[in-house]
């Protein structure tokens, strides 16, 4: 092969190589353009998705605001209900014959326990405690009706058992669907002015009345039906003598039944241990009980309303 | 009739041991705020199941750990519904447990010695 021919051959080879590289470059360029296009599309999709997220966030924010507003209104209503419920509870008697102290702890802002303390006549005190079925707002509404009904019957009832029987008749007649069913206890402390006193006690399915006499604890229990289930009930009263310094405890089951984180029950022994300490005035003993009860429960929220009426016969 | 499981509460239905009775064994705890939502339909189905059979409903509470006041309301409704249908019912409970004695003593008012409702402490069961 002559030199010119060799040069032509080299030129052909170089052109072939150039063509091949041009084809590769062209394909690469096409791929690049395609990818660029895809990225453009993805970017558009991302922009659209971002916009959708922004809109959803805005809606969520609005919904959250609405819920917070509702929550504020419900809490405010409950606070008002709590104030109403507190208002129907009586002030405690200040007397030379008797003093009283109360522990009242609804499981929620409002609760299903209600009580009344009334000096019927000079030196004669009547105590009433009821525990309505359920908890929270519905139970609190029941307590308001119960208290209103009790306030109507208590003026006419000469004895605690008459008060409960009359209350039952009214409740059963007005609310026949059992929706006002409750337990209740009622007792009179009748002081004679010379240090002597007696207690007349009646109960409708309520926990026992405890009498603390010195270091002795007497549990006065009478079986009885619920209030508000049947129109006519019969209740047997119990009468007992009490001495100056004796303390009487009426309570709802939520006080003793509360469990702590270990599953232990508070129990009535802790209640009597706290309240029978005569070195403390009755109010201070009940305050100590409140403190012990709260310490016992710890982080556990109470699951029932708890009420204790403590009464001391002073002489 | 199927047994009922609702939260911590279990009611085992035994309708085979005694041809004269359907036994309901209550176990665990009934602490729901609105137990009637579950118990209501269950009791309705139970009363329907015994509607055409001369069988006694036996409710056994000896082993239940605790129940709340809303549960006793549902039980009272069952007692009343059973009485209205002339379905005899027996409630067996443990009187040595204070909370059971307190709750079931309050039901004694339904025990009219007419064969339709009997409240039976465990020892006599």
Q: What CATH number should be reported for the domain holding residue A181?
A: 3.60.40.10
Structural domain ending residue among the three candidates A32, A60, A88: A88
* Structural domain total, chain A: 2
Question: What is the pTM assigned to this prediction?
Answer: 0.83
The residues of chain B scoring below 70 in pLDDT are 124-125
Q: What is the spatial distance between Cα A61 and Cα A65, in angstroms, rounded to a whole number?
A: 6
Q: What is the spatial distance between Cα B121 and Cα A141, in angstroms, rounded to a whole number?
A: 35
Alpha-carbon distances of A109 from A78, A254, A291, A302, rounded to whole Å? 7, 15, 19, 12
CATH of the domain at B37: 3.30.750.24
Here the tokens at position B97 are: 């447990």
Give residues with Cβ within 8 angstroms of B37, minimum separation 6. none
pLDDT at A135: 80
Same domain for A113 and A53? no
pLDDT at B125: 45
> Which residues form the domain of B24?
4-124
Q: Are strands B56-60 and B21-30 parallel, antiparallel or unpaired?
A: parallel
Same domain for A66 and A95? no
* Structural domain total, chain B: 1
Same domain for A111 and A199? yes
Structural domain ending residue among the three candidates A29, A59, A88: A88
Same domain for A159 and A66? no
Structural domain ending residue among the three candidates A65, A88, A111: A88
Which residues does chain A have within 8 Å of residue B68's beta carbon, measured at their own beta carbons?
304
pLDDT at B87: 94
Give residues with Cβ within 8 angstroms of B60, minimum separation 6. B23, B24, B25, B26, B92
Q: What is the spatial distance between Cα A259 and Cα A267, in angstroms, rounded to a whole number?
A: 9
Same domain for A64 and A11? yes
Q: For testing the chain B interface, which of A142, A164, A226, A305 should be mutated: the one with the most B CBs within 10 Å? A: A226
Same domain for A78 and A204? no
Same domain for A100 and A84? no
pLDDT at A156: 94
**Does the distance separating the beta carbons of A207 and B102 come in below 8 Å?**
yes
Same domain for A309 and A265? yes
Q: What is the spatial distance between Cα A247 and Cα A282, in angstroms, rounded to a whole number?
A: 8
A interface toward B at CB cutoff 8 Å? 131, 133-136, 178, 181, 183, 204-205, 207, 223-226, 229-230, 233, 253, 257, 303-304
Same domain for A39 and A138? no
Here the tokens at position B124 are: 């006599």
Averaged in consecutive runs of 10 residues, what is the pLDDT profile of chain A (315 residues)?
A: 91 94 94 95 96 96 95 91 88 88 92 95 95 87 94 95 97 88 96 91 96 94 93 95 96 91 90 91 94 92 92 93
Same domain for A100 and A48? no
Tell me, yes or no, if B8 comes closer than 8 A to chain A by beta carbon: no
Same domain for A249 and A166? yes
Question: Apex CA A21: angle with CA A19 and CA A24, to 5°?
Answer: 110
Q: What is the spatial distance between Cα A242 and Cα A188, in angstroms, rounded to a whole number?
A: 12
> Which residues form the domain of A45?
1-88
């Amino acid at each position: 092969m002559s030199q010119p021919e060799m040069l032509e051959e080299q030129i052909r080879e170089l052109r072939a190589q150039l063509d091949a590289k041009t084809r590769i470059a062209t394909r690469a360029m096409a791929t690049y353009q395609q990818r660029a296009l895809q990225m453009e599309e993805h970017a558009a999709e991302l922009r659209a998705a971002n916009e959708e997220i922004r809109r959803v966030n805005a809606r969520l924010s609005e919904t959250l605001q609405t819920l917070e507003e509702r929550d504020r209104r419900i809490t405010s209503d409950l606070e008002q209900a709590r104030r109403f419920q507190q208002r129907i509870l009586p002030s405690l008697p200040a007397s030379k014959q008797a003093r009283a102290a109360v522990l009242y702890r609804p499981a929620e802002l409002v609760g299903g326990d209600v009580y009344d303390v009334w000096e019927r006549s000079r030196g004669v005190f009547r105590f009433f405690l009821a525990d309505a079925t359920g908890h929270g707002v519905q139970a609190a509404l029941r307590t308001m009706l119960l208290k209103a009904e009790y306030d109507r019957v208590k003026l006419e009832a000469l004895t605690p058992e008459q008060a409960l029987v009359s209350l039952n008749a009214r409740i059963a007649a007005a609310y026949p669907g059992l929706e006002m069913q409750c337990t209740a206890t009622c007792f009179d402390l009748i002081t004679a002015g010379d240090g002597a006193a007696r207690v007349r006690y009646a109960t409708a399915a309520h926990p026992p009345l405890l009498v603390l006499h010195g270091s002795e604890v007497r549990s006065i229990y009478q079986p009885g039906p619920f209030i508000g289930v049947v129109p006519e009930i019969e209740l047997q009263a119990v009468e007992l003598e009490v001495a100056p310094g004796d303390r009487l405890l009426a309570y709802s089951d939520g006080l003793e039944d509360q469990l702590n984180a270990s599953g232990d029950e508070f129990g009535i022994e802790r209640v009597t241990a706290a309240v029978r300490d005569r070195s403390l005035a009755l109010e201070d003993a009940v305050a100590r009980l409140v403190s012990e009860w709260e310490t016992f429960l710890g982080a556990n929220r109470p699951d029932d309303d708890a009420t204790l009426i403590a009464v001391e016969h002073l002489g | 009739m199927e047994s009922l499981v609702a939260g911590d509460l279990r009611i085992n239905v035994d309708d085979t041991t005694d041809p004269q009775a359907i036994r309901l064994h209550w176990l665990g705890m009934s602490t729901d705020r609105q137990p009637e939502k579950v118990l209501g339909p269950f009791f309705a189905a139970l009363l329907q199941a015994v509607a055409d059979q001369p069988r006694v409903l036996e409710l056994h509470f000896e082993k239940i750990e605790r129940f709340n006041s809303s549960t006793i309301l549902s039980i009272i409704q069952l007692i009343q519904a059973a009485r209205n249908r002339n379905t005899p019912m027996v409630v067996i409970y443990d009187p040595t447990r204070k909370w059971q004695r307190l709750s079931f003593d309050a039901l004694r008012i339904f025990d009219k010695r007419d064969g339709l409702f009997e409240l039976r402490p465990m020892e006599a069961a």
